[in-house]
Structure 1
Amino acid sequence: MAEFMAQAGRLDVLVNNAGMMQQAAIEETSFEDWQRSLAVSLTAPFLMIRAALPHLRKTRGSIVNTGSIEGLSANPGHAAYCASKAGLHGLTRAVAVDHGHEGIRCNAVAPGWIDSELNVELIESMPAPAAFRRDIGRIHPVGRTGTAEEVASLVAFLAAEEASFITEQIFTVDGGRMVKLSLP
């Protein structure tokens, strides 16, 4: 933060955008892997927020955290990831409550399946990538996966002055996936 402030001179927005996922059941998740997941998705944003607060007070700035729909519900074998993102959602609300009186807003976006580099690599590694992409699209009411640009647009809005009365919210960006029930 000191290096950034020396170069930029002011801080208006902090975006915490990090995460890691390990596919493993709880019994298969080592304590070290659990700790690493929490360190990346929860502890690092906490430390960044703590370092940014003095600067954000001066600018009445905004914090946007990248959570996940898996912080609101769960996929099998993602306990550490789900727990870390749920914790980040709680941290988002706590920061908004504790620092709103200082003019600091804190919100989170909770993306679903986004065509990130990691997800595209996963799709391409499948035996039938086109079929896998089609099937992933079908779990979304909009019929497709999302783009990083769609998430970034919401982050930019939440950071902007136009969103000055929005705080402590968790916004899903998931093409409707969270509300679509599976058929038996």
Structure 2
Amino acid sequence: MSSTDTERACVVTGGAGSIGGAIGRCLRADGWRVVSLDLGVPARDAADVAVLGDVAAPAAHAEAAERAVELGALRGWVNCAGYNILGSVDEVEEAAVRRGIDVDLLGVFFGAAEAARRMGALDGPQRGSIVNISSIHAAVGFPGFAAYAMAKGGIEALTRQVAAEYVASGIRCNAVAPGLIESEMNAQLLAEASDPDALQAAWAALTPMGRWGTPDDVAAVVAFLLDGASGYITGEVLAVNGGATVLARGR
């Protein structure tokens, strides 16, 4: 199929995960053609095309972009792939830090770079929108997540930088910062905890709304930021955390 501007295409990195899969399904329901870039294969309803690749490699992003332009005009890009880096700053292993930064931060950098190159070649005053998935860890400290928080903070700085560099080119860039979300990553942390019930209760107490967020909660905000309805928004971080950063803990 040749690329036409009647079809909108979007690359979703980490498209095989809980949040990435929800984003893919939401976008497809909105009429987007979706390419997933991940080490795993997404659910059938979460993407039109699956590219198996490592987001730490720029070539993987280039391949995903090539597949996307076969489906339509590449006007959306979501950097969602993530890697959990556990440990305080004095105990986390070097290999884990380097792999985490490669995926969590450089993966976003390479994705945004590929998106900007491709979108810059499109026509129209609004050429495309890039959305990066950050985290509540970029705004609030949690013991045992030093390198992960560093990477997520870098994502938010990069988001503002990309927005500033390409605003005159009609390319927007924003970030979404989820809080406590039902995901494989959090399920694994619970499973490995010495007292899963206590940890789950502690996490729930952090969210004033009194519930965990869902991948669909995140996907809806991502879809908004990709859509023309958000055309006057760039360089912003939208928190999806049930009020966790607006109400002091214990209140």
TM-score, structure 2 normalization: 0.67
Partner of 1:39: 102
Pick closer, same or farther for the CA change 1:77–1:130 going to 2, 3 Å: closer
Q: Displacement, 1:173?
A: 0.6
- Matched residue type, 2:162: V
Partner residue, 1:12: 75
Query: Counterparts of 1:33-182 in structure 2 under 5 Å?
Result: 33-57=96-120, 58=122, 60-124=127-191, 129=196, 132-182=199-249
Contact 2:84 2:185 in 1 (8 A): no
Q: 1:7 to 1:77 in 2, by over 3 A?
A: same
List gaps (5 residues or longer) in structure 1. none
Paired-residue identity, %: 36
Render the CA deviation track for 1:75-112: whole Å, top value 9, x for unaligned: 11211101101001000000000000000000000001
Q: Is the 8 A contact 1:136 1:144 kept in 2?
A: no
Counterpart contact for 1:109–1:155, Cα < 8 Å = yes
Amino acid at match of 2:174: N
- Long gaps (5+) in structure 2: 1-61
How many angstroms apart in 1 are the aligned matches of 2:190 and 2:220?
Answer: 24
Deviations 1:36-77 (A, max 9, x none): 111111111111111121221215100000001111222112
1:35/1:130 Cα in 2 relative to 1: closer, same or farther (>3 Å)? Answer: closer
- The whole-number CA distance in structure 1 between the counterparts of 2:212 and 2:103 is 25
**CA separation of 1:125 and 1:42: change in aligned 2, threshold 3 A:** closer
Secondary structure of the corresponding residue to residue 81 of structure 2? coil
- Measure the CA separation in 2 of the matches of 1:16 and 1:128: 33
For the residue of structure 2 that corresponds to 1:95, the secondary structure is helix
Aligned in 2, Cα 1:136/1:27: closer, same or farther, shift over 3 Å?
closer
What count of residue pairs does the alignment treat as equivalent? 184
Give me the whole-angstrom Cα distance separating, in 1, the residues matched to 2:68 and 2:208: 43
How far apart, in 1, do the equivalents of 2:97 and 2:198 lie? 33
TM-score by length of 1: 0.90
Cα distance in 1, alignment partners of residues 194 and 96 from structure 2: 28
Report the 3-state secondary structure (helix = DSSP H, G, I; strand = E; otherwise coil) of the residue aligned with 1:179. Answer: coil
8 Å CA contact retained: 2:136, 2:178? yes
Aligned to 1:22: 85
- The amino acid that maps onto 2:224 is F
- Deviates most, 47-56 or 153-162: 47-56
Quick one: structure 1 residues 6 and 139, their matched pair in 2 at CA, closer, same or farther if it must change by over 3 Å? closer
Q: Which protein has greater RCO, CA pairs closer than 8 Å, 6+ apart? A: 1
Partner SS, residue 109 of structure 1: strand
Residue identity opposite 1:105 in structure 2: R
Greater strand fraction, Structure 1 or Structure 2: 2
